[in-house]
Structure 1
Amino acid sequence: MSLESHFCLLAEYNQWMNLKVYESAGRLSREDLTADRGAFFRSVLGTLNHIVVADIIWLKRFATHPSCESLLLDIVDLPNPASLDHILYDDFEALSECRYWLDDQIINWTGALTADDLNFVLSYRNTKGIAANKRFASLLLHFFNHQTHHRGQVSTLLSQAGEDVGVTDLLALIKEEI
């Protein structure tokens, strides 16, 4: 399996898990969604907003890659989040719509990446303004790992609220070989 195919699998996994997480979160009351459960981003809603914020920040950086600019054009037009704990959407339905739209963008974008794209060194500045130059494939791995990390936190928060997300293993999407 090529590196490009692995990133497509991670994009598919990302979308699949977000559907499961958002379906479970959608069954919570407003009070349960916003309850401070002691997580770094406090609540289910706060943590889900953080994942969207981080995705937007990274996708805007990725859009500076010469091969990605046109694929991520709609992302570039989004407002810049004010901080990593910025609540972009206080309304769960609006947050869900944004998440599903972002996941479609990510699926389409990763499907167009080539080996040369992944080998590119991306220059960017982090949220504190510190310059970095890193291999694009490594940044993509971080991008997907960050989502997985925080979705794991959300799964725990949902469990505390009485909701079971179900199977969360990437293994569930890896095709059987004959």
Structure 2
Amino acid sequence: MDFQQHFALLARYNQWMNQKLLEVSASLPAEALSAERGAFFGSILGTFNHLLVADTLWLKRLGASPDHATALQPLDAIPLPARLDQQLFADLAGLAERRQWLDAIIIAWVDGLRGHDLQDGWLVYHDTRGQPHRKSLAGVLAHLFNHQTHHRGQITTLLSQAGADVGVTDLAMLVPEQPLPV
């Protein structure tokens, strides 16, 4: 599996897990989703919002690069979040719509990347404090997906505490089967 295939798998896993968590979350009343649960971003909805905020920040940084501007142009239509704990959506329906839209953009963008983009590509950007950075594209992409996994793990725990079962969450579910050697 090369870099591009690896990140394409992670993009599809990202979409699959986000959709799965949104579907399970939809089975709970709105009060359960917004209830303070002692998590870093407070509630199930607060944690989902944080993921949207962080993904939007990173994708807008990537979209500012001429190498990625065309593929990430749809993000030009939405404002840059102001804070990492910003509540972009107060309801699950609006949040789910944005999440699905963003995941489709991520998949299309990653599918358009080539091995040399990932091996030799760089992202130059300023963080939320205005500090300049230059990081490898592959490293930033690994962070994007790892960050999602980290906070989805928190959401899974919060859903479990609310009495909802998420089921299987393993990446291995999306790793293609290969024929066994004879």
Counterpart for residue 147 of structure 2: 146
Aligned-partner residue type, residue 109 of structure 1? W
Q: Deviation of residue 10 (structure 1)?
A: 0.3
Aligned-partner residue type, residue 37 of structure 1? R
Q: Deviation of residue 82 (structure 1)?
A: 1.3
Counterpart for residue 161 of structure 1: 162
Deviates more, 1:155-164 or 1:70-79: 70-79
Deviates more, 1:146-155 or 1:75-84: 75-84
Q: Deviation of residue 134 (structure 1)?
A: 0.5
C-alpha distance in 1, partners of 2:168/2:2?
26
- Percent identity of equivalent pairs: 51
SS at match of 1:74: helix
The ranges of structure 1 where at least 4 consecutive aligned residues each deviate by more than 3 angstroms after the TM superposition are none
Q: What RMSD, in angstroms, separates the aligned Cα atoms of the two structures?
A: 0.8
- State the TM-score, normalizing by the size of structure 1: 0.98
Counterpart for residue 50 of structure 2: 50
In structure 1, list runs of 5 or more residues that go unmatched.
none
C-alpha distance in 2, partners of 1:94/1:141?
27
Q: Deviation of residue 125 (structure 1)?
A: 1.0
C-alpha distance in 2, partners of 1:82/1:27?
30
SS at match of 1:156: helix
SS at match of 2:42: coil
C-alpha distance in 1, partners of 2:74/2:51?
18
What per-residue deviation string (whole Å, max 9, x for no partner) do you get for residues 4-26 of structure 1?
01000000000000111000111
Counterpart for residue 70 of structure 1: 70
What per-residue deviation string (whole Å, max 9, x for no partner) do you get for residues 82-124 of structure 1?
1000000002100000000101111111000012221212111
C-alpha distance in 2, partners of 1:128/1:137?
23
Asked if the contact 2:30/2:91 (under 8 Å) is kept, the reply is no
Q: Aligned residue pairs: how many?
A: 178
- State the TM-score, normalizing by the size of structure 2: 0.96
